[in-house]
Amino acid sequence: MRRRALLFGVPATAPLLAPLTRVRAAPTRAGGIAPIRLGQSAPVTGPLARVGIAYRDAALAVFAEVNAQGGVGGRDIDLVTLDDEDRAERTSVNVKLLASQHQVVALFGFVGAGAHRAGARGAAEESLPYVAPVSGSLELRSGVLPWIYNLRASHLDEIDHIARHTNQIGIRRVSLVSEYNSQGWELRDALIASFEGRGDKVASISSVDHEGSRYSLPGAVSSVLAGRPEAILLGADYVASARFVDAARRADFNGLFYTLSTVGGNALMELLGTQAAGVSVTQVVPFPWSSATVIGRTFQAFCTRHRIEPSFASMEAYLGANLLVDALRRARDLTPARVAEALDSLPPRDFGGFVGAFYGRTRRAPAQVDLTVFTRAGKFVK
Protein backbone atom coordinates (compact mmCIF):
# COMPACT_ATOMS: atom_id res chain seq x y z
CA MET A 1 0.00 0.00 0.00
CA ARG A 2 1.34 3.40 -1.00
CA ARG A 3 2.35 6.09 1.53
CA ARG A 4 1.26 4.33 4.67
CA ALA A 5 0.75 6.54 7.68
CA LEU A 6 1.50 3.73 10.11
CA LEU A 7 4.24 1.16 9.98
CA PHE A 8 2.89 -2.18 11.23
CA GLY A 9 1.36 -0.24 14.11
CA VAL A 10 4.81 0.60 15.49
CA PRO A 11 5.18 4.16 16.80
CA ALA A 12 7.89 6.29 15.21
CA THR A 13 9.92 6.28 18.41
CA ALA A 14 10.17 2.49 18.68
CA PRO A 15 13.71 1.03 18.70
CA LEU A 16 12.93 -1.09 15.62
CA LEU A 17 13.14 1.93 13.36
CA ALA A 18 16.49 2.65 11.79
CA PRO A 19 18.27 5.89 12.66
CA LEU A 20 18.27 8.60 10.03
CA THR A 21 21.73 9.39 8.67
CA ARG A 22 20.88 12.28 6.43
CA VAL A 23 24.09 14.01 5.43
CA ARG A 24 24.31 17.33 3.58
CA ALA A 25 20.61 17.18 2.81
CA ALA A 26 19.33 19.85 0.44
CA PRO A 27 17.28 22.54 2.20
CA THR A 28 14.17 24.01 0.63
CA ARG A 29 15.25 26.71 -1.81
CA ALA A 30 14.28 30.34 -1.43
CA GLY A 31 10.71 30.78 -2.59
CA GLY A 32 9.57 27.55 -0.94
CA ILE A 33 10.65 25.19 -3.74
CA ALA A 34 10.80 21.72 -2.19
CA PRO A 35 13.71 19.41 -3.07
CA ILE A 36 13.48 16.24 -5.13
CA ARG A 37 13.76 13.61 -2.44
CA LEU A 38 15.45 10.24 -3.10
CA GLY A 39 15.69 7.41 -0.58
CA GLN A 40 18.49 4.99 0.22
CA SER A 41 18.83 2.12 2.67
CA ALA A 42 22.43 1.08 3.30
CA PRO A 43 24.73 -0.01 6.11
CA VAL A 44 26.38 3.08 7.56
CA THR A 45 27.15 1.35 10.84
CA GLY A 46 28.31 -2.21 11.40
CA PRO A 47 30.74 -4.40 9.45
CA LEU A 48 29.71 -3.26 5.95
CA ALA A 49 29.58 0.44 6.83
CA ARG A 50 32.64 1.35 4.77
CA VAL A 51 30.95 0.28 1.53
CA GLY A 52 27.65 1.94 2.38
CA ILE A 53 29.31 5.20 3.38
CA ALA A 54 31.54 5.26 0.28
CA TYR A 55 28.53 4.82 -1.99
CA ARG A 56 26.42 7.38 -0.11
CA ASP A 57 29.13 10.03 0.01
CA ALA A 58 29.95 9.80 -3.69
CA ALA A 59 26.26 10.05 -4.60
CA LEU A 60 25.84 13.05 -2.31
CA ALA A 61 28.80 14.74 -3.99
CA VAL A 62 27.26 14.23 -7.46
CA PHE A 63 23.96 15.68 -6.28
CA ALA A 64 25.76 18.58 -4.56
CA GLU A 65 27.39 19.54 -7.85
CA VAL A 66 24.02 19.43 -9.61
CA ASN A 67 22.42 21.52 -6.84
CA ALA A 68 25.20 24.11 -7.05
CA GLN A 69 24.34 24.56 -10.73
CA GLY A 70 20.65 25.17 -10.07
CA GLY A 71 19.40 21.66 -9.45
CA VAL A 72 16.83 20.01 -11.71
CA GLY A 73 14.21 22.47 -12.87
CA GLY A 74 15.21 24.78 -10.03
CA ARG A 75 14.81 22.03 -7.42
CA ASP A 76 17.66 20.57 -5.40
CA ILE A 77 18.18 16.82 -5.09
CA ASP A 78 18.00 15.52 -1.53
CA LEU A 79 19.24 12.02 -0.68
CA VAL A 80 17.81 10.57 2.54
CA THR A 81 19.86 7.61 3.77
CA LEU A 82 18.58 5.24 6.46
CA ASP A 83 20.96 2.84 8.17
CA ASP A 84 20.03 -0.85 7.89
CA GLU A 85 23.22 -2.31 9.42
CA ASP A 86 23.33 -4.81 6.52
CA ARG A 87 20.15 -6.51 7.76
CA ALA A 88 17.47 -7.24 5.17
CA GLU A 89 14.65 -6.95 7.72
CA ARG A 90 15.77 -3.41 8.52
CA THR A 91 15.83 -2.63 4.80
CA SER A 92 12.17 -3.59 4.54
CA VAL A 93 11.30 -1.23 7.38
CA ASN A 94 13.40 1.55 5.86
CA VAL A 95 11.57 1.34 2.55
CA LYS A 96 8.27 1.96 4.30
CA LEU A 97 9.74 4.88 6.23
CA LEU A 98 11.18 6.43 3.09
CA ALA A 99 7.83 6.14 1.34
CA SER A 100 5.50 7.20 4.15
CA GLN A 101 7.53 9.71 6.17
CA HIS A 102 10.00 11.11 3.67
CA GLN A 103 7.81 10.98 0.55
CA VAL A 104 10.66 10.01 -1.77
CA VAL A 105 10.08 9.78 -5.52
CA ALA A 106 12.56 6.93 -6.06
CA LEU A 107 14.80 4.52 -4.17
CA PHE A 108 18.46 4.69 -5.12
CA GLY A 109 21.72 2.90 -4.41
CA PHE A 110 20.68 0.24 -1.91
CA VAL A 111 23.72 -1.58 -0.51
CA GLY A 112 24.10 -4.82 1.44
CA ALA A 113 21.88 -7.78 2.22
CA GLY A 114 18.67 -5.83 1.67
CA ALA A 115 19.65 -4.64 -1.78
CA HIS A 116 18.97 -8.01 -3.38
CA ARG A 117 15.37 -8.85 -2.51
CA ALA A 118 13.94 -6.85 0.41
CA GLY A 119 14.56 -3.46 -1.18
CA ALA A 120 13.17 -4.44 -4.57
CA ARG A 121 10.05 -6.06 -3.19
CA GLY A 122 9.48 -3.12 -0.87
CA ALA A 123 9.83 -0.73 -3.78
CA ALA A 124 7.22 -2.67 -5.75
CA GLU A 125 4.83 -2.62 -2.79
CA GLU A 126 5.25 1.14 -2.39
CA SER A 127 5.14 1.83 -6.16
CA LEU A 128 8.60 3.41 -6.27
CA PRO A 129 11.34 3.07 -8.89
CA TYR A 130 14.26 1.00 -7.59
CA VAL A 131 17.42 2.44 -9.12
CA ALA A 132 21.02 1.21 -9.23
CA PRO A 133 21.01 -1.33 -6.39
CA VAL A 134 24.40 -2.81 -5.56
CA SER A 135 23.19 -6.28 -6.42
CA GLY A 136 23.75 -8.86 -9.11
CA SER A 137 20.57 -10.73 -8.19
CA LEU A 138 18.88 -12.53 -11.06
CA GLU A 139 15.48 -11.82 -9.49
CA LEU A 140 16.09 -8.14 -10.18
CA ARG A 141 16.70 -9.02 -13.83
CA SER A 142 13.80 -11.43 -14.29
CA GLY A 143 11.18 -8.87 -15.28
CA VAL A 144 8.86 -10.06 -12.50
CA LEU A 145 9.13 -6.92 -10.39
CA PRO A 146 8.22 -3.55 -11.92
CA TRP A 147 10.37 -0.43 -12.08
CA ILE A 148 13.74 -2.11 -11.45
CA TYR A 149 16.68 -0.21 -12.97
CA ASN A 150 19.97 -2.10 -12.71
CA LEU A 151 23.32 -0.65 -13.68
CA ARG A 152 25.83 -3.34 -12.78
CA ALA A 153 26.37 -6.75 -14.37
CA SER A 154 24.58 -9.76 -12.86
CA HIS A 155 25.98 -12.48 -10.62
CA LEU A 156 25.72 -14.82 -13.61
CA ASP A 157 27.88 -12.46 -15.69
CA GLU A 158 30.52 -12.43 -12.95
CA ILE A 159 30.48 -16.19 -12.45
CA ASP A 160 30.74 -16.74 -16.22
CA HIS A 161 33.80 -14.48 -16.26
CA ILE A 162 35.43 -16.48 -13.47
CA ALA A 163 34.55 -19.76 -15.19
CA ARG A 164 36.23 -18.62 -18.40
CA HIS A 165 39.33 -17.57 -16.49
CA THR A 166 39.68 -20.79 -14.48
CA ASN A 167 39.14 -22.84 -17.61
CA GLN A 168 41.86 -20.89 -19.43
CA ILE A 169 44.44 -21.44 -16.68
CA GLY A 170 43.66 -25.14 -16.34
CA ILE A 171 41.62 -25.20 -13.12
CA ARG A 172 38.93 -27.87 -13.35
CA ARG A 173 37.62 -28.23 -9.76
CA VAL A 174 35.98 -25.20 -8.18
CA SER A 175 33.97 -24.99 -4.95
CA LEU A 176 31.50 -22.43 -3.64
CA VAL A 177 30.83 -21.09 -0.16
CA SER A 178 27.82 -18.81 0.20
CA GLU A 179 25.08 -17.95 2.67
CA TYR A 180 22.06 -20.17 3.15
CA ASN A 181 19.50 -17.85 1.61
CA SER A 182 18.00 -16.97 -1.76
CA GLN A 183 21.22 -15.32 -2.93
CA GLY A 184 23.26 -18.36 -1.99
CA TRP A 185 20.91 -20.65 -3.90
CA GLU A 186 21.09 -18.36 -6.90
CA LEU A 187 24.90 -18.42 -6.86
CA ARG A 188 24.83 -22.22 -6.53
CA ASP A 189 22.63 -22.62 -9.60
CA ALA A 190 24.69 -20.13 -11.62
CA LEU A 191 27.95 -21.83 -10.67
CA ILE A 192 26.70 -25.26 -11.66
CA ALA A 193 25.32 -24.03 -14.98
CA SER A 194 28.43 -22.04 -15.88
CA PHE A 195 31.15 -24.49 -14.84
CA GLU A 196 29.53 -27.76 -15.80
CA GLY A 197 28.49 -26.23 -19.10
CA ARG A 198 32.21 -25.93 -19.85
CA GLY A 199 32.95 -29.49 -18.77
CA ASP A 200 34.53 -28.42 -15.47
CA LYS A 201 33.68 -29.84 -12.07
CA VAL A 202 31.88 -28.16 -9.21
CA ALA A 203 33.91 -29.85 -6.50
CA SER A 204 31.72 -28.97 -3.51
CA ILE A 205 29.20 -26.43 -2.28
CA SER A 206 28.56 -25.34 1.29
CA SER A 207 27.03 -22.45 3.18
CA VAL A 208 27.70 -20.33 6.24
CA ASP A 209 25.40 -18.13 8.26
CA HIS A 210 25.53 -14.34 8.10
CA GLU A 211 29.06 -13.19 9.09
CA GLY A 212 30.26 -16.81 9.40
CA SER A 213 29.68 -17.64 13.05
CA ARG A 214 31.53 -20.36 14.92
CA TYR A 215 28.41 -22.51 14.62
CA SER A 216 28.49 -22.75 10.83
CA LEU A 217 32.11 -22.08 9.86
CA PRO A 218 33.86 -25.36 10.82
CA GLY A 219 31.31 -27.50 9.02
CA ALA A 220 31.44 -25.33 5.91
CA VAL A 221 35.24 -25.51 5.73
CA SER A 222 35.24 -29.27 6.20
CA SER A 223 32.52 -29.79 3.58
CA VAL A 224 34.17 -27.57 0.95
CA LEU A 225 37.67 -29.00 1.39
CA ALA A 226 36.32 -32.55 1.22
CA GLY A 227 35.70 -31.90 -2.48
CA ARG A 228 39.44 -31.30 -3.05
CA PRO A 229 38.95 -27.98 -4.90
CA GLU A 230 41.70 -26.20 -6.78
CA ALA A 231 39.89 -22.89 -6.30
CA ILE A 232 37.09 -21.61 -4.07
CA LEU A 233 34.53 -18.95 -4.98
CA LEU A 234 33.53 -16.78 -2.02
CA GLY A 235 29.88 -15.77 -2.24
CA ALA A 236 29.04 -15.01 1.40
CA ASP A 237 29.15 -11.55 2.96
CA TYR A 238 32.65 -10.18 3.37
CA VAL A 239 32.93 -10.89 7.12
CA ALA A 240 31.94 -14.53 6.62
CA SER A 241 34.20 -14.78 3.57
CA ALA A 242 37.21 -13.43 5.48
CA ARG A 243 36.62 -15.90 8.29
CA PHE A 244 36.28 -18.72 5.78
CA VAL A 245 39.58 -17.85 4.08
CA ASP A 246 41.40 -17.78 7.41
CA ALA A 247 39.92 -21.11 8.48
CA ALA A 248 40.62 -22.76 5.11
CA ARG A 249 44.24 -21.60 5.14
CA ARG A 250 44.62 -22.97 8.66
CA ALA A 251 43.26 -26.26 7.30
CA ASP A 252 46.11 -26.26 4.72
CA PHE A 253 44.14 -25.18 1.66
CA ASN A 254 46.71 -23.72 -0.75
CA GLY A 255 44.54 -23.15 -3.79
CA LEU A 256 43.08 -19.95 -5.24
CA PHE A 257 40.27 -17.77 -3.96
CA TYR A 258 37.86 -15.83 -6.18
CA THR A 259 35.17 -13.42 -4.99
CA LEU A 260 32.31 -11.54 -6.56
CA SER A 261 32.29 -7.74 -6.63
CA THR A 262 29.66 -7.51 -3.89
CA VAL A 263 32.01 -9.46 -1.58
CA GLY A 264 35.57 -8.56 -2.43
CA GLY A 265 36.13 -4.85 -1.90
CA ASN A 266 38.60 -3.06 0.32
CA ALA A 267 36.68 -4.06 3.43
CA LEU A 268 37.32 -7.77 2.76
CA MET A 269 40.97 -7.16 2.01
CA GLU A 270 41.46 -5.22 5.23
CA LEU A 271 39.95 -8.06 7.25
CA LEU A 272 42.14 -10.61 5.48
CA GLY A 273 45.38 -8.69 6.03
CA THR A 274 48.32 -10.59 4.56
CA GLN A 275 45.99 -13.39 3.47
CA ALA A 276 44.41 -11.03 0.93
CA ALA A 277 47.39 -11.23 -1.42
CA GLY A 278 46.46 -13.18 -4.54
CA VAL A 279 42.68 -13.09 -4.04
CA SER A 280 40.96 -12.50 -7.40
CA VAL A 281 37.90 -10.24 -7.47
CA THR A 282 35.45 -9.58 -10.28
CA GLN A 283 34.62 -5.90 -10.79
CA VAL A 284 31.63 -4.43 -12.62
CA VAL A 285 32.65 -0.78 -12.98
CA PRO A 286 35.72 0.86 -14.53
CA PHE A 287 38.99 0.62 -12.61
CA PRO A 288 38.84 3.73 -10.38
CA TRP A 289 42.61 4.32 -10.20
CA SER A 290 43.27 4.27 -13.94
CA SER A 291 43.97 7.47 -15.90
CA ALA A 292 43.95 5.66 -19.24
CA THR A 293 40.30 6.48 -19.99
CA VAL A 294 38.14 9.58 -19.92
CA ILE A 295 35.95 8.12 -17.17
CA GLY A 296 39.01 7.34 -15.07
CA ARG A 297 40.36 10.88 -15.33
CA THR A 298 36.96 12.47 -14.81
CA PHE A 299 36.24 10.35 -11.77
CA GLN A 300 39.63 11.01 -10.18
CA ALA A 301 39.14 14.77 -10.63
CA PHE A 302 35.70 14.43 -9.05
CA CYS A 303 37.19 12.58 -6.06
CA THR A 304 39.86 15.25 -5.65
CA ARG A 305 37.28 18.03 -5.65
CA HIS A 306 35.24 16.35 -2.94
CA ARG A 307 38.05 14.68 -0.98
CA ILE A 308 36.59 11.26 -1.68
CA GLU A 309 38.74 8.15 -1.65
CA PRO A 310 38.52 6.45 -5.07
CA SER A 311 37.06 2.98 -4.79
CA PHE A 312 34.88 0.62 -6.75
CA ALA A 313 31.91 1.56 -4.53
CA SER A 314 32.36 5.29 -5.08
CA MET A 315 32.82 4.74 -8.83
CA GLU A 316 29.56 2.79 -8.99
CA ALA A 317 27.76 5.54 -7.06
CA TYR A 318 29.22 8.21 -9.35
CA LEU A 319 27.96 6.43 -12.47
CA GLY A 320 24.54 5.59 -11.05
CA ALA A 321 23.94 9.05 -9.63
CA ASN A 322 24.85 10.76 -12.90
CA LEU A 323 22.52 8.50 -14.88
CA LEU A 324 19.71 9.13 -12.42
CA VAL A 325 20.21 12.89 -12.76
CA ASP A 326 19.92 12.46 -16.54
CA ALA A 327 16.56 10.73 -16.01
CA LEU A 328 15.29 13.35 -13.56
CA ARG A 329 16.01 16.05 -16.14
CA ARG A 330 13.99 14.14 -18.74
CA ALA A 331 11.00 13.52 -16.47
CA ARG A 332 7.82 15.40 -17.43
CA ASP A 333 6.89 15.60 -13.76
CA LEU A 334 8.79 14.53 -10.68
CA THR A 335 6.41 11.85 -9.45
CA PRO A 336 7.39 8.19 -9.09
CA ALA A 337 5.47 7.21 -12.23
CA ARG A 338 6.97 10.00 -14.35
CA VAL A 339 10.47 9.28 -13.04
CA ALA A 340 9.98 5.62 -13.99
CA GLU A 341 8.81 6.71 -17.43
CA ALA A 342 11.97 8.79 -17.86
CA LEU A 343 14.16 5.91 -16.67
CA ASP A 344 12.46 3.56 -19.14
CA SER A 345 13.33 5.84 -22.06
CA LEU A 346 16.78 6.94 -20.88
CA PRO A 347 19.38 6.16 -23.58
CA PRO A 348 22.81 4.71 -22.75
CA ARG A 349 25.44 7.28 -21.80
CA ASP A 350 29.06 7.07 -22.94
CA PHE A 351 31.21 8.15 -20.01
CA GLY A 352 34.39 7.74 -22.07
CA GLY A 353 35.61 4.17 -21.75
CA PHE A 354 32.39 2.93 -20.15
CA VAL A 355 28.85 2.93 -21.53
CA GLY A 356 26.31 3.03 -18.74
CA ALA A 357 22.60 2.26 -19.00
CA PHE A 358 19.88 1.20 -16.63
CA TYR A 359 18.08 -2.03 -17.45
CA GLY A 360 15.55 -4.45 -16.06
CA ARG A 361 15.22 -7.70 -17.96
CA THR A 362 16.90 -6.65 -21.21
CA ARG A 363 20.35 -5.09 -21.08
CA ARG A 364 20.86 -1.89 -23.10
CA ALA A 365 24.66 -1.76 -22.84
CA PRO A 366 27.34 -4.47 -22.75
CA ALA A 367 28.02 -5.99 -19.33
CA GLN A 368 31.25 -4.74 -17.79
CA VAL A 369 33.13 -7.44 -15.88
CA ASP A 370 36.86 -7.39 -15.20
CA LEU A 371 39.04 -9.58 -13.00
CA THR A 372 41.32 -7.86 -10.52
CA VAL A 373 43.88 -9.29 -8.11
CA PHE A 374 44.81 -7.92 -4.72
CA THR A 375 48.59 -7.65 -4.33
CA ARG A 376 51.00 -7.85 -1.42
CA ALA A 377 51.43 -4.12 -1.79
CA GLY A 378 47.80 -3.68 -0.71
CA LYS A 379 46.40 -2.64 -4.07
CA PHE A 380 44.06 -3.98 -6.72
CA VAL A 381 45.64 -4.59 -10.14
CA LYS A 382 44.03 -5.64 -13.40
What domains lie within the chain, and their CATH numbers?
36-153+295-356 (3.40.50.2300), 155-283 (3.40.50.2300)
pLDDT score of 212: 72
Residue 10 sits at φ, ψ, to 5 deg, of: -90, 125
Q: Do 313 and 265 meet the contact criterion of CB atoms below 8 Å apart?
A: yes
Q: How many CB atoms lie within 10 A of CB 340?
A: 23
Least confident of 74-83, 207-216, 274-283: 207-216
Give the pLDDT confidence score for residue 85 in this predicted structure: 93
To the nearest whole percent, how much of the chain has pLDDT over 70?
91
Per-residue pLDDT, averaged over 314-333, amounts to 97
Q: Is this model's pTM higher than 0.85 or not?
A: yes
Please report, as a single letter, which amino acid is at residue 318: Y
Rounded Cα–Cα distance for residues 173 and 170 (Å):
9
Q: What is the pLDDT of residue 7?
A: 31
| 3-class state of residue 67 by DSSP | helix
The residue among 236 and 161 whose pLDDT is bigger is 161
Query: 18 by DSSP, 3-state: which?
Result: coil
DSSP type of residue 181: S
Cα distance between residue 224 and residue 280, in whole Å: 19
Q: Which of 229, 208, 204 shows the shortest CA–CA distance to 220? A: 208
CB atoms within 10 A of CB 366: 11
Most confident of 21-25, 288-292, 362-366: 288-292
Integer Cα distance of 191 and 151 in angstroms: 22
8 has a pLDDT exceeding 50: no
pLDDT at residue 214, rounded to an integer: 81
Is the pLDDT assigned to residue 155 strictly greater than 60? yes
At residue 85's C-alpha, the angle toward residues 81 and 87, to 5°, is 110
Of 59, 25, 50, 51, give the one whose Cα is nearest residue 302: 59
**Beta bridge mates, 258:** 233, 280
> What are the tens digits of pLDDT across the range 11-52?
333 333 444 555 444 555 555 689 999 999 999 998 788 899
Q: Which residue has the higher pLDDT, 107 or 361?
A: 107
Average pLDDT, the chain: 89
The pLDDT assigned to 6 comes to 32
Tell me how far apart the alpha carbons of residues 55 and 275 are, in angstroms, rounded to a whole number: 26
Q: How far is CA 347 from CA 18, 32, 108, 363, 364, in A?
A: 36, 33, 19, 12, 8
State mean pLDDT over 83-88: 93
* Other C-beta atoms lying within 10 Å of the C-beta of residue 175: 26
What pLDDT, in 10s, does the model give residues 113-130? 899 899 999 999 999 999
Asked whether residue 294 carries a pLDDT value surpassing 70, the answer given is yes
